[in-house]
C-alpha cells in the first residue's frame, strides 16, 4: 500500500522548508564555522551549483569542533540539496540519519519536520521498518502532524507490520476528520480493513467495508460488499432480487456469475424487468413471458383497484423492475391500504426503492429505517438499501 501523499509531498520545496530557518542562530546555536559553511552551501544551491554546495557540506562535516546540533543541521541541509538535485538515494540516507538522531538533540519545534521528511523518504525507499519508527515518533510531536501526514504515518505502521498501531492511528484519524465535518481519508479505512484481514479478523473487516460503503458510496466498494452479501446464509429468493436492484442503483460493477444468480431469481419471481437488467451484465435472458407481461401492464394497474393487497404488491414489484417508479410506489401504497400482504416488509421495500428511483432519497432513507425484517439476511439487505439512500440524501463533500 503506497500513499499518494508520499508521491505528492516528496518535493524539494517541502523538504527545503524544513531547513529554511536553520541559519538564523536560534537556540541551540550553530558553531560559527559550521554556520559559515552552510551559508556557502545555501548560496551555491541558489545558483544551482550543486557541486559547490556539496563541497561546502563536506567542509562543514570536516570541522572537528561540531556539536550534535551542528550534525543535525548539516544532515538536514545535505538531504535538501540531494532532493533539489533529484538524488533521492542520498537524500534518503541523510533524511533517515537526521530522524535517527537522539531525540534530545532535535529541538521540539523541529521534530515534526525532521520525522515527516524521514517518513516520506523511508516510505519511498520501502524502508518500512524505519518509516514505522518515524511514524511513532511523530505521534509525540507538538504541534501534531496534519491529516495527510497522519494518514501516511498510519500506512507506515501498516507496512512495518504494526497492525494494531496502524488500526489505532487510522481510527484516530477518522474520528478527527468526522469531528471537524471533513470526509475521512479513504486510505485510513483501507489500512484498518487490511490490518483486520492480516490478523484474520474477517468479521471486523466486513464491518469496516460497510463503513466505507456508507462513507463514500463508491460503486467499486459496493461491488465488493454486495458480492459478499450474496453469499450470506438465509437469503430468500426476493432478497437476491433486492440485492440485484441495489447493484443497479449503485452502478456496482458485478461479475456475470452474480448477475446469473440475480436474473434467475428474478425470472422465478416473475419479475422480468429485473431479469432484463441483469442480462445486460451477464445474467440469463428474461423469461419469454416478459413481452406479454409488459404489454398488459396498463390492464394490470386498472385491475389493481379491484384486487387485494397481495396482487398490488406483486404488481408494484413488476412496475419497479420495468422502471415505472412512481406507479410502483402508488401500487405498493395501495397494497398497504387493502391489507392481506403475506410479507409485511414487501410493500415498504418497494416504496423505499421507488422513492429512491424518483430521487426522493431522504424519504427513502426514512422508509428503510422503518422496516424491521426478522430474518437476519433480509435485515442486512434492508440496512444496505438504507445506507445507499442516506448516502444519496446527504450533501456532496
**For position 27, what pLDDT does the model report?**
66
Q: What residues contact 175, with CB distance under 8 A and at least 6 apart?
A: none
- What is the reported pTM? 0.79
**pLDDT tops 80 at residue 95:** yes
**pLDDT tops 90 at residue 366:** yes
Q: What average pLDDT does the segment 271-288 reach? A: 95
CB atoms within 10 A of CB 161: 13
Cell 438499501 found at: 385
Q: What is the pLDDT of residues 18-63, one digit of tens each?
A: 344 344 444 688 999 999 999 999 999 999 999 999 999 999 999 9
Read off the pLDDT band of 395 (50, 70, 90).
confident
Q: What average pLDDT does the segment 351-372 reach? A: 97
SS3 183: coil
**For position 19, what pLDDT does the model report?**
42
Q: Which of 319, 346, 334 is nearest to 238 (CA)?
A: 346
Cell 406483486 found at: 314
**For position 24, what pLDDT does the model report?**
42
What percent of the chain clears pLDDT 90, i.e. is strictly above it? 89
**For position 4, what pLDDT does the model report?**
39
284: left (phi over 0), alpha (psi -120 to 50) or beta: beta
**For position 6, what pLDDT does the model report?**
31
Q: What average pLDDT does the segment 356-365 reach? A: 97
CB 209 within 8 A of CB 193: yes
Handedness of CA 203, 208, 209, 215 (dihedral sign): positive
b (16+ CB within 10 A) / e for 99-117: bebeeebbeeebbbbbbbb
**pLDDT tops 90 at residue 226:** yes
**H or E, element range at 379:** helix 376-393
Cell 431522504 found at: 362
**pLDDT tops 60 at residue 77:** yes
pLDDT mean across residues, the chain: 91
**For position 375, what pLDDT does the model report?**
93
**For position 144, what pLDDT does the model report?**
84
Read off the pLDDT band of 13 (50, 70, 90).
very low
**pLDDT tops 80 at residue 396:** no
Q: What is the pLDDT of residues 116-170, one digit of tens each?
A: 999 999 999 999 999 999 999 999 998 888 889 999 999 999 999 999 999 999 9
CB atoms within 10 A of CB 179: 8
**pLDDT tops 70 at residue 9:** no
- The single-letter DSSP state of residue 145 is P
Q: Which three cell numbers stand for residue 362?
A: 431522504
**For position 397, what pLDDT does the model report?**
60
Read off the pLDDT band of 5 (50, 70, 90).
very low
Amino acid at each position: 500500500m503506497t500513499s499518494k501523499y508520499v508521491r505528492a509531498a516528496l518535493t524539494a520545496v517541502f523538504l527545503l522548508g524544513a531547513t529554511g530557518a536553520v541559519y538564523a542562530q536560534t537556540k541551540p546555536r550553530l558553531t560559527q564555522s559550521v554556520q559559515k559553511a552552510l551559508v556557502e552551501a545555501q548560496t551555491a544551491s541558489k545558483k544551482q551549483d550543486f557541486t559547490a554546495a556539496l563541497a561546502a557540506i563536506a567542509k562543514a562535516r570536516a570541522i572537528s569542533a561540531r556539536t550534535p546540533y551542528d550534525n543535525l543541521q548539516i544532515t538536514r541541509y545535505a538531504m535538501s540539496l540531494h532532493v533539489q538535485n533529484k538524488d533521492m538515494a542520498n537524500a534518503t540516507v541523510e533524511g533517515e540519519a537526521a530522524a535517527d538522531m537522539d531525540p534530545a538533540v532535535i529541538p521540539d519545534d523541529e521534530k515534526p519536520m525532521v520525522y515527516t521528511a524521514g517518513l516520506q523518504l523511508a516510505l519511498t525507499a520501502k524502508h518500512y521498518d524505519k518509516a514505522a519508527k518515524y511514524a511513532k515518533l511523530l505521534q509525540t510531536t507538538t504541534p501534531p502532524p496534519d491529516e495527510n501526514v497522519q494518514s501516511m504515518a498510519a500506512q507506515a505502521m501498516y507496512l512495518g507490520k504494526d497492525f494494531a498501531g496502524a488500526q489505532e492511528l487510522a481510527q484516530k484519524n477518522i474520528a478527527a476528520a468526522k469531528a471537524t465535518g471533513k470526509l475521512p481519508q479513504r486510505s485510513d479505512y483501507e489500512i484498518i480493513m487490511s490490518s483486520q484481514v492480516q490478523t484474520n479478523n474477517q468479521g471486523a473487516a466486513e464491518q469496516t467495508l460497510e463503513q466505507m460503503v456508507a462513507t463514500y458510496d463508491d460503486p467499486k466498494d459496493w461491488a465488493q460488499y454486495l458480492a459478499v452479501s450474496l453469499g450470506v446464509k438465509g437469503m430468500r429468493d426476493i432478497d437476491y432480487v433486492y440485492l440485484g436492484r441495489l447493484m443497479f442503483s449503485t452502478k456496482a460493477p458485478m461479475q456475470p456469475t452474480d448477475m446469473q444468480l440475480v436474473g434467475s431469481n428474478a425470472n422465478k419471481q416473475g419479475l422480468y424487468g429485473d431479469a432484463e437488467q441483469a442480462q445486460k451484465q451477464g445474467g440469463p435472458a428474461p423469461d419469454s413471458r416478459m413481452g406479454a407481461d409488459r404489454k398488459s401492464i396498463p390492464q394490470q394497474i386498472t385491475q389493481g383497484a379491484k384486487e387485494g393487497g397481495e396482487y398490488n404488491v406483486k404488481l408494484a414489484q413488476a412496475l419497479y423492475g420495468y422502471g415505472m417508479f412512481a406507479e410502483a410506489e402508488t401500487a405498493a401504497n395501495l397494497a398497504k391500504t387493502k391489507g392481506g400482504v403475506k410479507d409485511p416488509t414487501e410493500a415498504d421495500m418497494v416504496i423505499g426503492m421507488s422513492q429512491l428511483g424518483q430521487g426522493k432519497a431522504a424519504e427513502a432513507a426514512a422508509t428503510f429505517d422503518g422496516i424491521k425484517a426478522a430474518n437476519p439476511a433480509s435485515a442486512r439487505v434492508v440496512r444496505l438499501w438504507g445506507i445507499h439512500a442516506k448516502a444519496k440524501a446527504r450533501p456532496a463533500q
